[in-house]
Amino acid sequence: MENVIVLIDFSRNNYTDGELVSETELYIECMTGNPNYLTPSPTLIVVQGALTSFSGLRLAAQTGRIGTTEAKNEGRTILEGILKSLGLYVQLNCGNSKSKALSSGYSIKKASSKVGQLSKPIYFLIENMDNSGDALMHTPVIPHADKYQWETSQDPPGVARVVTTTVTGPRELMLTGLTVGGALYGRVAGVGTDPTLVWSNWFMLNIVT
């Protein structure tokens, strides 16, 4: 069995500023109360603090004022370092278990063995955005997935529901024009060479903005 390797390269070559924010939110969501990682180091409070700071610096940089872009980049460097340290903690505590590593929200290095059916996504993040009726769905890397297929619906399970299918290259899907006060249901599967799709469980979000 190959060693599980947690990926901790958060450079701009791998993540835009927006993707880094989404990725950090996913780690916090997945590791909060996770029995596999009871004492995260750095703590999730530290991670959240760095994320909040970086998010504020991103907004400030949009004004174009002198020095704001440099401050934003410094904030990103700090956040990258914290996420790298947290990833090393996951590496040390996952016990070389693929499922435990993925439960943290972190991605792992793709195995070199022959690819068959892709693994079932364990977690993904679904959250309200600032604009009314907008929501974001974001999943960790599914090893060997070339694309990601999403199914979404605002109809509850157990009824004749209208399901929308979307295929994306990135690991996130932005939805707009949702009914405020209703619920959004979603699931995701990786798309690879094997035609069989292995779906995550359905997750639900109340649309509150």
Residue 185's alpha-carbon distances to 62, 161, 196, in angstroms, are: 33, 11, 22
**Residue 159, exposed/middle/buried by CB under 10 A (0-12, 13-18, 19+)?**
exposed
Of 45, 47, 27, 25, give the one whose Cα is nearest residue 36: 27
Beta bridge partners of 204: 185
Residues in CB range of 65: below 8 A, 6 or more apart: none
**Which residue is associated with the tokens 């959240």?**
48
Is pLDDT above 70 for 115? no
pLDDT tens-digit profile of 12-38? Answer: 888 889 999 999 999 999 999 999 999
d(CA 143, CA 118) in angstroms, rounded, equals 7
CATH 1.10.10.10 assigned to domain 125-206? The reply is: no
pLDDT tens-digit profile of 148-181? Answer: 999 999 988 877 788 999 998 888 899 999 989 8
pLDDT tens-digit profile of 118-128? Answer: 988 887 888 88
pLDDT tens-digit profile of 69-103? Answer: 999 999 999 999 999 999 999 999 999 999 999 99
Supply φ then ψ for residue 76, to 5 degrees.
-65, -45
pTM for this model (two decimals): 0.59
